[in-house]
């Protein structure tokens, strides 16, 4: 027999038949693989989630959860596990179904140890091929991103210089300059401004990814950041006749984070809430501390267009913009929310969205809070027995 391909990840066998489990274990142990066996779908799937096996061998016909259900649940997980199904006599039809659902191969009962080993050797090869392909894709993506970052960096200063020259030209234009000329220069200046914004966003994104952006861990007061951010965005809000409301309570505990990263996050959320609002709408920033999981949740709500449920998971993806009336005529590249998400995650927090089309959206950022500080209500709590 040829040397079987090596694999560090275990092989998991799910079969309700004890003899079958024992036979698989015996046949495969000799090849040096780690083999674990389970008698039913739920316990096997639980283990699959924990160990991410290289290969799963699953019996299609089992009481309770069927092999097909196991396959369906495995496919919903983010794993490269290669599936081999065990089929009984005269169930070739089901084997075909299983392969359509994502199984790689099948082995009909009864089978010899030799047959099982041959099929598993192929499945292991297949596993290596798909993980290698995944690694190469990730590497390619990484190189592409590095290149874009490099080019963006290189473009930043010449574009900045051109914008400055255009600024000077605009200022020096006398009253005798034709209106058209002035307009062209002004338009060029704006276009360059947009390009610089895209570049700045991209560079911010790669900084957060590289762990170079949210680097500080100090106590940050949302109260202060909210006041400053709302002040800074008052003019754009007025242009849309949007009212900005600050409902962050005074006694809110500080969060543990990086102030400049959090300022950027908040500005992005409030900016969106204004940009995708209706004329005359409202933006409300509120916050609440939780003593259950020691966090502070800050929310930015608007009365704008909202986001349809099927679009919601995508708005945190790079360059994604919802295609409806809301983004027409508003400038943007779809990098704001991915930046927010990465900042929140970098700071051991998370960002969530709830939205109702036509009524508005609420983005909530949950971050770890200062463990020492209590809210006014928490001060009133009954002291714990046995405390100091």
Ligand X SMILES: Nc1ncnc2c1ncn2[C@@H]1O[C@H](COP(=O)(O)OP(=O)(O)OP(=O)(O)O)[C@@H](O)[C@H]1O
Nearer to ligand X, 350 or 374 (CB): 350
User: Quick check: 338 binds Mg ion (CB under 5 A)?
Assistant: no
Per-residue x/- marks for ligand X, 344-383, CB under 6 A?
Answer: -----------------x----------------------
User: Quick check: 321 binds ligand X (CB under 6 A)?
Assistant: yes
User: Quick check: 341 binds ligand X (CB under 6 A)?
Assistant: no
What are the tokens at 203?
């560079």
User: Quick check: 31 binds Mg ion (CB under 5 A)?
Assistant: no
Strand spans (E) along the chain? 11-14, 35-38, 55-59, 82-87, 105-108, 218-220, 243-247, 255-257, 282-290, 295-302, 350-356, 360-368
Q: Residue 46: which residues within 8 A CB-CB, separation 6 or more?
A: none
Per-residue x/- marks for ligand X, 116-155, CB under 6 A?
Answer: ----------------------------------------
Among the listed residues 226, 266, 307, 347, the single contact to ligand X using CB under 6 A:
307
**To the nearest whole angstrom, how small is the minimum distance from the Cβ of residue 90 to Mg ion?**
59
As a whole number of angstroms, the distance between CA 313 and CA 6 comes to 38
DSSP-derived letter for residue 112 is -
Adjacency order of strands within the sheet including 35-38:
35-38, 11-14, 55-59, 82-87, 105-108
What are the tokens at 262?
């959090």
Among the listed residues 326, 343, 366, 369, the single contact to ligand X using CB under 6 A:
326
Report 263-282 residues binding ligand X (CB under 6 A).
268, 272-273, 276
As a whole number of angstroms, the distance between CA 388 and CA 385 comes to 9
Per-residue x/- marks for Mg ion, 258-277, CB under 5 A?
Answer: --------------x-----
**Residue that has been written with the tokens 């200063």 in this structure:** 157
Nearer to ligand X, 98 or 273 (CB): 273
Report 24-53 residues binding ligand X (CB under 6 A).
none
Report 145-204 residues binding ligand X (CB under 6 A).
201
Burial 108-142 (b: 16+ CB within 10 A, else e): eeebeeeebbbbbbbbbebbeeeeeeeeeeeeeee
The entry of ligand X, Mg ion, none that residue 276 binds, CB within 5 to 8 Å by partner kind: ligand X
Nearer to Mg ion, 35 or 242 (CB): 242
DSSP-derived letter for residue 382 is P
**To the nearest whole angstrom, how small is the minimum distance from the Cβ of residue 265 to ligand X?**
11
Torsion of CA 268, 273, 277, 280, to 10 degrees: -110
**To the nearest whole angstrom, how small is the minimum distance from the Cβ of residue 343 to ligand X?**
13
Contact positions toward ligand X, by CB under 6 A?
201, 268, 272-273, 276, 302, 304-307, 315, 320-322, 326-327, 332-337, 361
**Residues in contact with Mg ion by the rule CB under 5 A:** 272, 336
């Amino acid at each position: 027999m040829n040397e079987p391909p090596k694999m560090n990840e275990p092989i998991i066998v799910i079969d309700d038949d004890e003899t079958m489990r024992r036979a698989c274990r015996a046949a495969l142990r000799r090849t040096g693989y780690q083999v674990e066996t389970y008698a039913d779908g739920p316990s096997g799937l639980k283990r699959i989630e924990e160990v991410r096996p290289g290969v799963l061998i699953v019996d299609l016909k089992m009481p309770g959860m069927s092999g097909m259900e196991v396959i369906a649940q495995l496919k919903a997980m983010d794993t490269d596990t290669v599936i081999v199904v065990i089929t009984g006599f005269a169930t070739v039809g089901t084997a075909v179904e299983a392969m359509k659902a994502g199984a790689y191969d099948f082995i009909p009962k009864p089978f010899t140890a030799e047959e099982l080993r041959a099929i598993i050797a192929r499945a292991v090869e297949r596993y290596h091929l798909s993980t290698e392909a995944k690694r190469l894709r990730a590497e390619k993506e990484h190189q592409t991103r590095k290149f874009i970052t490099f080019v963006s960096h290189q473009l930043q200063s010449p574009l900045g210089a051109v914008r400055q020259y255009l600024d000077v030209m605009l200022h020096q234009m006398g009253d005798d300059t034709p209106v058209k000329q002035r307009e062209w220069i002004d338009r060029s200046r704006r276009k360059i401004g947009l390009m610089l914004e895209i570049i700045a966003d991209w560079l911010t994104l790669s900084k957060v990814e590289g762990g170079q952006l949210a680097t500080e861990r100090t106590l940050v007061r949302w109260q202060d950041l909210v006041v400053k951010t709302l002040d800074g965005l008052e003019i754009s809000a007025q242009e849309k006749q949007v009212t900005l409301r600050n409902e962050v309570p005074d006694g809110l505990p500080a969060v543990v984070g990086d102030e400049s990263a959090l300022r950027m996050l908040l500005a992005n959320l409030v900016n969106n809430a204004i940009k995708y609002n209706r004329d005359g709408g409202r933006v409300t920033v509120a916050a609440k501390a939780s003593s259950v999981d020691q966090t502070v949740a800050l929310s930015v709500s608007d009365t704008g267009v909202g986001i349809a449920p099927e679009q919601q998971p995508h708005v945190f993806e790079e360059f994604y913009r919802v295609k409806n009336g809301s983004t027409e005529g508003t400038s943007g590249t779809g990098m704001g929310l991915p930046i927010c998400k990465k900042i929140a995650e970098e700071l051991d927090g998370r960002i969530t969205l709830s939205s109702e089309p036509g009524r508005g959206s609420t983005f909530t950022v949950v971050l770890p809070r200062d463990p020492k500080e209590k809210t006014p209500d928490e001060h009133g709590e009954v002291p714990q027995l046995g405390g100091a």
